[in-house]
């Protein structure tokens, strides 16, 4: 199929409307058969639950053109499972896993012209989301819901290489103790918007959030999990019941153990031990790994030995291995790559 004529290297990470999206509706206790539509707009009641009480959740994943020319997605089954967990916690109906995967396939195939070519550094970003569309005025879950998945091509996250970023320790909390920090609810992101704008205005790329109970332990940023490397080469990731279980982070942990032979610890990480680490990165769907060169802890700088010029050695190996699997240059574990079109 002939590709849409886009400047793949410079389209940025933003919304570009594509040809088709998938829509399914839940009413009277059941999902309808769903299907593709040309219409990118949503019509709903002014009293829709999503507008009144923020009953919504979402996922993010990517489709790629692999080295052999096939179109693939990376571990979308985990996105389906995470959305199911989120929906259940928000008192929303679960969209079945197989239907989630079918929606991903249909949207990618219907927008094949927007799947960037191999080697461009760009990908097709997919956004499955669900929300309460039924009207609600009293505080209660909706009785009607809509599940949608759209696609948008996005450019390479790092143009000219991944330069380490500077982040700050936040005075605000990302999530409440025993709250919704471990699910991908829209409300988690809404409450972080002012904080990220203020961080950007102050010259920082992100906020480091601490645990909301003791404020002594590292949790995550507004949209990514942390990964640290010790001076003796051990990979360490924070563990908490209020951290979103990143699919990228889980994948990096597995390949660190099984492919690179590294020792890995998933444990509580205290802020006062962060200066002892050799490398730091933020991991998530958009960038895979964003290297961190410096953390500002209220005027006290934590500078990692990996520096401000490039990724640390082990972080780079993790990044290269995972992206190599996504692009088909390295064989991935069974079940990690969903082939959408040969």
Active site residue 184: yes
Of the candidates 209, 87, 182, the one whose C-alpha atom is nearest the C-alpha of residue 142 is 87
Contact, 166 vs 296, CB < 8 A? Answer: yes
Contact, 294 vs 208, CB < 8 A? Answer: no
User: What is the DSSP annotation of 75-123?
Assistant: -HHHHHHHHHHHHHHTT-PPPPHHHHHHHHHHHHHHTGGGSPPTTSS-E
Structure tokens at 243: 């951290």
At residue 112, what are phi and psi to the nearest 5 degrees? -55, -35
* 3 state DSSP class of 41: coil
Catalytic residue among 20, 62, 184, 217: 184
Half-sphere exposure of 273 (CA within 13 A, CB side): 14
Residues paired with 280 in a beta bridge: 228
At residue 208, what are phi and psi to the nearest 5 degrees? -95, 115
Whole-angstrom distance, CA of residue 198 vs CA of residue 168: 11
**Residue 143 exposed, middle or buried by CB count within 10 Å (0-12, 13-18, 19+):** middle
Pairing of strands 123-132, 61-65: antiparallel
- Helices then strands (H, E): number in the chain? 7, 17
Structure tokens at 53: 């009480």
Active-site residue set:
184
């Amino acid at each position: 199929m002939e590709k849409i004529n886009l400047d793949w290297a410079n389209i940025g990470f933003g919304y570009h409307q594509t040809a088709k999206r998938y829509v399914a509706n839940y009413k009277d206790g059941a999902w309808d058969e769903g299907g593709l539509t040309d219409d990118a707009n949503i019509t709903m009641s002014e009293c829709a639950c999503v507008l009144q009480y923020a009953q919504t959740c979402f996922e993010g994943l990517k489709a790629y053109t692999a080295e052999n020319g096939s179109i693939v997605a990376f571990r979308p089954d985990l996105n389906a499972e995470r959305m199911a967990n989120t929906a259940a916690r928000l008192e929303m109906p679960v969209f079945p896993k197989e239907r989630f995967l079918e929606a991903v396939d249909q949207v990618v195939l219907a927008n094949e012209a927007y799947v960037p070519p191999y080697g461009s550094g760009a990908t097709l970003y997919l956004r499955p989301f669900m929300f309460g569309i039924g009207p609600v005025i009293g505080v209660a879950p909706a009785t009607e819901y809509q599940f949608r998945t759209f696609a948008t091509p996005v450019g390479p996250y790092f143009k000219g290489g991944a330069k380490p970023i500077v982040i700050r320790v936040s005075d605000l909390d990302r999530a409440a103790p025993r709250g919704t920090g471990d699910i991908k609810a829209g409300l988690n992101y809404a409450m972080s918007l002012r904080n990220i704008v203020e961080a950007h205005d102050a010259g920082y790329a992100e906020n480091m959030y601490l645990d909301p109970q003791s404020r002594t332990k590292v949790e995550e940023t507004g949209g990514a999990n942390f990964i640290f490397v010790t001076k003796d080469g051990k990979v360490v990731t924070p563990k908490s019941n209020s951290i979103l279980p990143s699919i990228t982070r889980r994948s990096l942990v597995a390949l660190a153990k099984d492919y690179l032979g590294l020792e890995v610890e998933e444990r509580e990480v205290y802020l006062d031990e962060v200066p002892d680490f050799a490398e730091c990165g933020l991991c998530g769907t958009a960038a895979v790994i964003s290297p961190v060169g410096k953390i500002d802890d209220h005027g006290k700088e934590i500078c990692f030995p990996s520096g401000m010029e490039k990724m640390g050695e082990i972080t780079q190996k993790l990044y290269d291995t995972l992206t190599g699997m996504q692009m088909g240059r390295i064989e991935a574990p069974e079940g990690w790559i969903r082939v959408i079109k040969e």
